Each structure stands twice: as structure tokens, then as C-alpha cells.
Structure 1
């Protein structure tokens, strides 16, 4: 419903044309490969692959297409990850429609567009301190999986998983792995 509403709002702009919509990250990458739009609007949380990975795919399949992240998940870690993946902008969904249209135009012209509040938070939050393995272990631990279960899924020893969990807990300043996962999710680090 929201995807359709955004498309309809953008179609009201005389200089903007919506050439396709998608319901998942991989579908978005496929639609971009078929239509080669100037700008692709992308969310962070989507079925199958997330918006960060989908942004990478879009940029690989259509290098001239610029990606503008439009999301409710205004987290500093997501901003950094999106920019690192090749996004040209990051705005929140509660912005007025005219601001979204302006953001599309600005990204199309080659400028970067970042929500100012999120940019400020990103400066003060710092970068994600977690290694890729620590992020993956925390993602799996977030839904209550045991160290043994995580070890089996990642083809690691339970000791290695516990070491990674311990390191992640220390890096985010948490008391336990549940709190570490929650804090890392809130900051957009996992």
C-alpha cells in the first residue's frame, strides 16, 4: 500500500515518471536491470534481501542508477551501510511529499541527500565497531538461538561463537547478548 502511495505521489510531479515497483530486494534489483531508471527508491527492511544488499545489486546491475533510501528505520548504522553500499541518499518516510520529490531530483542531479537529523546522529554515534562475524552471530542470537545452534549454522565451534558474542557484548557496552543484539539493532549495526 505504501509503495503504491509513494509511486502515485511521485507520478503527480510533472518531471518525474515511475517506471516500475517491486515488493522485495531481489525484485527491485531485477526491475532496475530491466528498466534502467535514473533513480531507484529503496527501503531498508524488505522480504528476501535487505535494502543494503539490494542497493549493492542495483549498483552492480545498473551503475548509472542512483539509489535513494526511503525508510522508517532512521538509524545511523543503516545510513553508513547504505552509503557504503552505493546509495546516494537516505531520507525518512515521514518527510513531506514535496521533500521526497526534491530528494529524488537532487539525487538524480548527482548530489547526496541525507536526512539532517540522521546525519548528526551518525556523526556522534561513530562507526559500527562490530566485525562481520560478530554482526552475524548477534543477528542469529537476537532471536534466542543458543551458541551451539549458531555454531552449527555458521560451521564454527561453540567456543568461537561464544568468543564472538563476548567481543560483541563488550564493543556495544551491553550486559548480555540479548541486550547487545537489541542495542546493535537500535543503532542499525545488525
Structure 2
């Protein structure tokens, strides 16, 4: 029997995976978590064969959680389940000890296939990579602006960014305006989307 723990901050995705997997006689979901710290607690307690985890989660991200899981349970197979297909994110998960990498828009049959493949000893990192790495090198942002983009991608507000970087909120707002202008983005929503897509590239 293959035991699985699922970590994802959107409960609906967890529920969807569980409903799909419950029809497999050799698979059982033994735990679920909505943040990285809870994931680590459950994994240490349940000692599953496989962990399916998002990369971007509250309290502790999936990369850090994977490192700690592999330290405690070297034989546990960790699979990243994420919307990020940047090569830097994949590399970081590989270095953390993950065995596989699945995009969230993949069919659930793919999730099942990857679970079985990693348990059999395979490494599954055949996610298509967007050819954006060369472009990233030419993004006209200063080091401070790139720091702010990364924090925006982590869901931080201007006030939270100001406190983390020990600067005034007005300074953060000015940086955000400059970032919008440099990247030709229109408003907060476009900046947030860009930041979430690119935060692992900086």
C-alpha cells in the first residue's frame, strides 16, 4: 500500500486529488496540510511513502519543507505539485531532494502515474520549461526592485515589505511605481501576476 500526504493551501485541490486516488486499491491518503509547518508535523507522525506538495505555501514553503522531510525521512518520495514551471524552481526542488515535479494543470492521471513512477525509483522532472531564462537576465530592475518583486510574489503588502526591508512604506510605493513603468505593467494585478510567475527567477 502506497501512503500519501498532500500539502496544498487550496483545500479544493486536495479534495479533488483525494477523490481521484481513493479508487486506487493500492493507494491511501493518510494526511493533508494547508501550510508547510503542518505538513512537516504530519509527515513525521505518519511517515508516508509519498508527499505531494505545493511550492508556495504559508508558514513554510515547499522547498524548505522538502529539505526537512528528506532529512527526517530519506526514503520518503516528495513530488512538487505547482503552477511554477520556471527552471530555477525545478532546480531548487531537485536540490532539496524531490523525486518529481507536476504542474497543477496536469490531468489527475498524470499525478497517479508520477506517484507510481517515483515509488518505483524514477525521478520525474520532465515538465516543459518556458524559454524565459535569457529574458530574465535582461529585466531592467535594480537589486532592490527585484527584492520587492519577489516579496510581492509571496503575497506581502507594501507595509509588510517596508518592515522586512527596513524602509518606509512610501519608498516601497515609489519602487512599485518604478517597477510598473520599467516592465510596462498596468496596475497592482499585473504586478502581482508577474511577481508570482517570476519570483523564483531572481
1:8 shift after superposition:
2.5
CA 1:134 to 1:83, structure 2 compared with 1: closer, same or farther past 3 Å?
farther
**Aligned residues between the structures:** 173
Q: Aligned runs of 1:79-90 on 2, under 5 Å?
A: 79-90=90-101
User: TM-score, length-normalised on structure 2?
Assistant: 0.65
> Structure 1's 152 and 95: CA in aligned 2 closer, same or farther, altered over 3 A?
closer
The equivalent of 2:9 in structure 1 is: none
Using the size of structure 1 for normalisation, the TM-score is: 0.69
- Counterpart for residue 61 of structure 1: 72
Q: Is the 8 A contact 2:53 2:79 kept in 1?
A: yes
Quote the offset at 1:103 in angstroms: 0.4
- 1:75 has 2:85 as partner: yes
Corresponding residue of 1:153? 164
Q: In structure 1, list runs of 5 or more residues that go unmatched.
A: none
User: 5, 17, 27: which one pairs with 2:38?
Assistant: 27
Is the contact made by 2:84 and 2:197 (CA closer than 8 Å) also made in structure 1? Answer: no
Give the unaligned 5+ runs of structure 2. Answer: 1-11, 138-142
Residue 59 of structure 2 corresponds to 48
Counterpart in the other structure of 1:3:
14
Aligned-residue offset at 1:114: 2.5
- Distance change (3 Å), C-alpha of 1:154 and 1:99: same
Distance 1:182 1:68, change over 3 A: same
**Which structure is higher in strand share?**
2
Query: How many Å separate the matches in 2 of 1:89 and 1:60?
Result: 17
Alignment equivalent of 2:123, drawn from 98, 109, 112: 112
Query: RMSD of the alignment, in Å?
Result: 3.7
